[in-house]
């Protein structure tokens, strides 16, 4: 660690923590991945060893570069080149424009990285947008080789518990132990669909639900479409479902894009297109062409806006300063209660005579509160003393499209407002106490028959005997 300065935390995974670092000699910015070592007998985690082994041998412009490996205080550090963001951020954030040329460029760089890995007999087995990192110059690089394995042995059994379920091929969901690079190509097809939809294509909650989502979109495969399907270890037959029309799902995609997606998401692994074949597909030879990665949208840490000019958004009416949540809350308080000056100078009402009930104060006329609430036809809410106006204005639409509860913000009360409300509460409690002193307690039961068990012990009527216990005696 003497050669690097540690900076902010960039992320945290299952086996380690990633922080930003600066090399002292050259000043180069890098990423430090700290892997926690187990006990002495356990040694280094196998996931870390696989990643180190693969990245020491793989060198490609679209594969993450590992600069150094060293140990420090029972921890293992992997030093990588610094990357600003990942493809998942680009897909989810709608502020980033993702045009056809952008999707084609990202897909092409992904296929080039996967084709290089397969050419060197490496299965990645964890392809997903989160592992496709975006550099400061917009270049995409494949990362996280913790689940990568060398393949080629025809009788080698591999685990099916790889990939995130949303990007796991159907043969893996059925428990296949022998598979080929086609499992990576299925994940590439899911990423391709996610870029066009701006959301994951198959979002299952479990293995069975994931298969159901796949079959609902692509149709239930038959033995002719997928030979050997019934011989898989965890095969379960699903109800036959016809495939959906991809044109209805991907409304803006070209015919070439849909053809490539269909070949990437083929049920039969032997018919699934390879990375080299996908790069030669006519999809990459038609207009619009894939743009250079320097023109792609990219994210800079510390800034909230993308570094690429976006098309002008449609005009939207901005709320007035007086329509902010705090202002609306204060306005509701002022109009629901008397002014503070009047409350401060007011004295407690005199105690009512023992044979009378204090008269309730006259209610003030209702005053409208102007909001842009969608629940009112004229956009005006009325608040009167004693009405159910919420203190935090929950459910009141401030901008006309979403409420405060939808935005996750619940306004609080200032110290001045709390003091004012406490004073009002004391005044109202005193008024209620004075008003209820001489109310006949027997009338609280309303029109209850004297023979009711609740009245026994007081009226002498038959019923349950409370003995010396009087429910109206405050000493009990």
| Tens digits of residue pLDDT in 407-422 | 444 445 566 667 777 7
> What class does CATH assign to 85-295?
mainly alpha
The whole-number pLDDT of residue 330 equals 55
Whether 126 sits among the annotated catalytic residues: the reply is: yes
Give yes or no for residue 45 having a pLDDT over 90: no
Give yes or no for residue 160 having a pLDDT over 80: yes
- In this prediction, residues 296-320 reach a mean pLDDT of 48
Calculate the average pLDDT of the chain.
75
Give yes or no for residue 428 having a pLDDT over 60: yes
Topology of domain 4-81, CATH: Phosphorylase Kinase; domain 1 (3.30.200)
Give yes or no for residue 318 having a pLDDT over 80: no
Q: Which residues pair with 66 in a beta bridge?
A: 80
Report pLDDT digits (tens) over 102-157: 999 999 999 999 999 999 999 999 999 999 999 988 999 999 998 999 998 877 89
The whole-number pLDDT of residue 309 equals 39
Which residue's structure tokens are 């406490």?
A: 422
For the annotated binding site, the residues are 10-18, 33
The whole-number pLDDT of residue 419 equals 72
What pTM does this model have? 0.64
- The residues spanned by each domain of the chain are 4-81, 85-295, 323-348+366-433
pLDDT classification of 375: cutoffs 50, 70, 90? very low
The whole-number pLDDT of residue 179 equals 94
The whole-number pLDDT of residue 335 equals 52
Candidate list 126, 144, 184, 434, residue with the active-site label: 126
The whole-number pLDDT of residue 380 equals 39
- In this prediction, residues 319-327 reach a mean pLDDT of 47
Report pLDDT digits (tens) over 224-245: 999 999 999 999 999 999 999 9
């Amino acid at each position: 660690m003497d050669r690097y300065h540690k900076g902010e935390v960039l992320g945290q995974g299952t086996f380690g923590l990633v922080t930003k670092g600066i090399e002292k000699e050259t000043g180069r910015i890098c990423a430090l991945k700290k892997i926690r070592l187990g006990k002495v007998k356990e040694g280094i985690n196998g996931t870390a060893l696989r990643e180190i082994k693969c990245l020491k041998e793989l060198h490609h412009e679209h594969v993450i570069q590992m600069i150094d490996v060293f140990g420090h205080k029972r921890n293992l550090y992997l030093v990588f080149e610094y990357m600003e963001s990942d493809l998942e951020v680009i897909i989810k954030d709608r502020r980033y424009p993702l045009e056809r040329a952008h999707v084609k460029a990202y897909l092409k760089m992904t296929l080039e990285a996967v084709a290089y890995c397969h050419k060197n007999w490496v299965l990645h087995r964890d392809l997903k947008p989160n592992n496709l990192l975006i550099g400061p110059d917009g270049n995409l690089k494949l990362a996280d080789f913790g689940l990568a394995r060398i393949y080629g042995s025809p009788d080698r059994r591999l685990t099916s518990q790889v990939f995130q379920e949303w990007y796991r091929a159907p043969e893996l969901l059925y428990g296949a132990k022998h598979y080929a690079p086609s499992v990576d190509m299925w994940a590439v097809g899911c990423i391709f669909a996610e870029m066009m939809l701006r959301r994951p294509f198959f979002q299952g909650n479990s293995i069975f639900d994931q298969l159901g989502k796949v079959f609902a979109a692509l149709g239930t495969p038959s033995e002719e479409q997928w030979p050997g399907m019934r011989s898989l270890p965890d095969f379960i037959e699903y109800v036959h479902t016809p495939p959906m029309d991809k044109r209805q799902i991907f409304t803006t995609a070209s015919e070439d894009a849909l053809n490539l997606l269909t070949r990437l998401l083929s049920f039969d692994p032997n018919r699934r297109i390879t990375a080299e074949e996908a790069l030669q597909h006519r999809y990459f030879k038609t207009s619009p062409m894939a743009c250079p990665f320097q023109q792609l949208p990219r994210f800079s840490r510390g800034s909230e806006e993308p570094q690429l000019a976006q098309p002008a958004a449609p005009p939207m009416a901005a709320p007035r300063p007086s329509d902010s949540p705090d202002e609306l809350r204060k306005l509701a308080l002022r109009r629901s209660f008397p002014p503070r000056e009047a409350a401060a100078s007011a004295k407690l009402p005199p105690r009512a005579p023992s044979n009378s009930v204090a008269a309730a104060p006259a209610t003030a006329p209702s005053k409208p509160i102007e909001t842009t609430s969608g629940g009112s036809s004229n956009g005006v809410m009325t608040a009167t003393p004693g009405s159910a106006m919420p203190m935090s204005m929950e459910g009141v639409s401030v901008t006309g499209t979403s409420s405060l509860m939808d935005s996750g913000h619940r306004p609080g009360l200032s110290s001045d407002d709390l003091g004012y409300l406490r004073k009002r509460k004391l005044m109202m409690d005193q008024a209620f106490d004075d008003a209820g002193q001489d109310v006949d307690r027997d009338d609280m039961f309303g029109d209850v028959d004297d023979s009711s068990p609740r009245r026994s012990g007081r009226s002498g009527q038959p019923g349950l005997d409370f003995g010396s216990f009087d429910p109206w005696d405050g000493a009990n």
